[in-house]
Chain A
């Protein structure tokens, strides 16, 4: 089977004045459809840089990147925008919702840039469905500052899934959440992988979070140091059912 993501000798070097800082030094990787890949590594290891390049937010200095068999390095800005809109969904640590804009409108956003000119009623309907899917139908008109962190992240996930992308990129999605909410978010990801077969690439610095993935990549100093299937996969659904609901207890244990 052809990999969805295929990178060869990916190099990224940042130039800060005269100093050249290598972030990625030759990363090669294949991700197949339906995989839940977690990339784990300490801060400064280059894992975020990797995700930015995989998500077409940034361009590599060297190496090749094939997304669905398409050579991304040859695409222009408009084509990259289209890929970000149609093929990839993003979930960020800081949620990155538009402030002073309702949850519903945030979720509608990808449809605005889809180029298909969806009529407003249709946009609204689909956004409502996406919000309902993450259990926030009753919060549609709330603005981000009226929502909790977990709710904001769920709005962000609903937005990321709006155009039915094949890949979901998540950059420290639980970084700003307490552990119970983190488990809830991971539950959503696992359900997406198992239910809809979405390919997920998740970046984290916490091994406990990485343990939810089906495959764990460890990255250090811009190189992949280990790449193995996760045999002791954590199941968020199970934890949510059997873990005590007392947040302080969970936090204490996690810390």
Chain B
């Protein structure tokens, strides 16, 4: 019997008992729809975590001028190891003071803060100054030469030098007080979630020429221009004209531009232009991306050594700069729920050493647990659907003993009968599966739209759902089909 006529026979047999067929199919439809929706939600969650991690810049390293590391608790309530932990010892900073007694008495002569071996729970003057002139960002310790040296390190992808000011940006009668970032042209490559809704970023040539060009963050652009297109207009900062070349906004649904944020309530000009206009030569920070996210820890160490060498810092002295990886910021700003972020941070010894591998492993473990749980639910519903098919097929074999006998008497081989019943079961399950795919896709889209969950349906998951439903049909249909094929041709004469 050809597969085509086998399929037609199966269809006809199924059409005879429409209600029964429909009810059996619904069982599998629900199962497949569940599987598909679960996969969609699971992979949606996974890719949104990946998005978050990438957009937040897990491979980001920021070197800030100055060293201000005294806070003992970080944003997540985790006690952080102080970088320079002085051994608690009897302080030598005491002076013998003659008090009139026979014996000299040792009394502290300096303010306790000045004792470098004393540990304080508040920043000391020397720590605040990073043993240099100033605190974080305002110390003039980083120069373009440092950035150039970092660029030559192995494993470095992009390096962007930055100076940051607050400035009034004026257009016509409107003024907006915002953040002014003097950055170099690599910045858009580092901020991967950026989208230029108008115009472009400034070019290397404009940077070299110290041109007075400006890119507006979308919030700043809206405050100054409303809905009008600002590209080509001239705005004024420090009474200097700047030509607007572009407007940047967020390309990620996780980060919405908002007044007061650092990225989009901001304006960008070439750092060379800021240097020229303000007569500066130092940088506030250098932003570096690692080519491989797993390389962040190694690279951070390399940068620290490089800069300590360039700044001629002796082995006993603390850094005059701060190297931070972006892991902490990613967790805090990536849209992750605080309790999840806290648990991730709590599971990692030192936050600065968080690499994508570690974070990825933690996230992966939790998402795998969730996926396994969802898979269990889906598997159970598929099992129930499959048992339904098996049940109905067994019933059908009993009901149709005579039909099978007649077919056998007319010349159907065991194989033909087996194939026919297998085809019926598979048709049943595949039809149910297709219905399930339709419902699953619709449900995923609906959930994505109305519940704003991330759901991604891939061709592979649809193919998988289809394959699973066919497999369920074959698996649960085989035993009944086998029973059917065992029916003897003599049975055609019974049940008269």
Residues of A within 8 A of B (CB): 48, 52, 55-58, 77-78, 81-82, 84-86, 90, 92-94, 96-101, 109-110, 112-114, 117, 120, 159, 163, 171
Q: In the complex, A90 Cα to B492 Cα: how many Å?
A: 11
CA separation between A85 and B409, bound complex, in Å? 8
Contacts A81-B413, A85-B410, A98-B406; is A113 near B496 (CB within 8 Å)? no
- Interface residue? B2 (CB, 8 A): yes
Q: Across the interface, which residues of A come within 8 angstroms of B415, CB to CB?
A: 78
Beta-carbon nearest neighbor of B485 in chain A: A77
State A94–B406 Cα separation when bound (angstroms).
11
- Which of the residues B12, B413, B490, B493 comes within 8 Å of A113, measured between beta carbons? B413
Q: Could you list 17 examples of A-B contacts with CB < 8 Å?
A: A56-B489, A57-B492, A77-B413, A81-B413, A84-B410, A85-B410, A85-B411, A85-B412, A90-B409, A90-B410, A93-B496, A94-B493, A96-B492, A98-B406, A110-B411, A112-B5, A113-B412
10 interchain residue pairs of minimum CB distance? A85-B411, A113-B411, A81-B413, A57-B489, A84-B411, A113-B412, A94-B496, A96-B406, A78-B413, A112-B1
- In the complex, A249 Cα to B496 Cα: how many Å? 29
Residues 403 to 441 of chain B near chain A (Cβ within 8 Å): 403, 406-416
Contact indicator B409/A57 (Cβ below 8 Å)? yes
Complex Cα gap A101–B406 (Å): 13
Return A168 CB to nearest CB of chain B, in Å. Answer: 13
Interface residues of B in 373-425 (CB under 8 A from A): 402-403, 406-416
- Write out the residue numbers on chain B whose beta carbons fall within 8 Å of the beta carbon of A120: 5
Chain B residues whose CB sits within 8 angstroms of the CB of A77 once the complex forms:
413-414
Q: Which of B408, B412, B415, B493 has the most CB of A within 10 A?
A: B493
Which chain A residue has the least Cβ–Cβ distance from B491? A57
List 4 additional contacts besides A52-B493, A97-B406; criterion CB under 8 Å.
A78-B415, A100-B16, A112-B1, A113-B411
Contact yes or no, B411 A101, CB < 8 A = no
**Binary contact readout B1-22 vs A (1 if CB under 8 angstroms, 0 otherwise):** 1100100010010001000000
Q: How far is the CB of A205 from chain B (nearest CB, A)?
A: 15
Q: Assess A57 versus B490: contact at CB under 8 Å? Given A93-B496, A112-B1, A113-B416.
A: yes
Q: How far apart sit A44 and B490, CA to CA, in the bound complex (Å)?
A: 17
Given contacts A52-B490, A113-B416, A171-B493, contact A96 B409 (CB under 8 A): yes
Complex formed: what's the CA distance from A99 to B406 in Å? 11
Are A84 and B1 closer than 8 Å at their CB atoms? Answer: no
> Within residues 466 to 496 of chain B, which ones have a CB less than 8 A from any CB in chain A?
488-490, 492-493, 496
A residues less than 8 Å from B16 (CB atoms)? 100
Closest to A120 in B: B5
Q: What residue of chain B has the Cβ atom nearest to residue A163's Cβ?
A: B411
- A52-B490, A57-B490 known; A113-B1 Cβ under 8 A: yes
A14 to chain B, nearest CB (A): 11
- Measured between alpha carbons, how far is A101 from B489 in the docked complex, in Å? 20
Q: A94-B496, A109-B407, A117-B2 are in contact. Are A58 and B413 (CB under 8 A)?
A: no
* Set A92, A117, A159: member contacting B492, Cβ < 8 A: A92
B15, closest chain A residue (CB): A100
A113 near B407: Cβ-Cβ < 8 Å: yes
Tell which of A52, A55, A98, A117 has the most Cβ of chain B within 10 Å.
A98
A93-B496 Cα distance, complex, nearest whole Å: 9
Whether B410 pairs with A101 at a CB distance below 8 angstroms is no
With A and B bound together, what is the CA distance between A163 and B411 in angstroms? 11
Q: What residues on B are CB-neighbors of A100 within 8 Å?
A: 16
Minimum CB–CB distance from A173 to chain B (whole Å) comes to 13
- State whether A81 touches B412 (Cβ < 8 A): yes
Tell me if B490 and A109 are in contact (CB < 8 A): no
CA distance A92 to B489 in the complex (A): 13
- Chain B minimum-CB-distance residue to A58: B490
| Alpha-carbon distance between A100 and B2 when the two chains are bound, in angstroms | 22
Q: Across the interface, which residues of B come within 8 angstroms of A52, CB to CB?
A: 490, 493
Q: Kindly list chain B residues whose C-beta atoms are within 8 Å of the C-beta of A109.
A: 407, 410
A159: B residues at CB distance < 8 A: 410
CB distance from A144 to the nearest CB of B (A): 12
Compute how far the CA of A52 lies from the CA of B5 in the bound complex, rounded to whole angstroms: 29
Give the complex CA separation of A43 and B412 in angstroms: 29
CB-based nearest B residue for A77 = B414
B496 contact set on A, CB distance < 8 A: 93-94
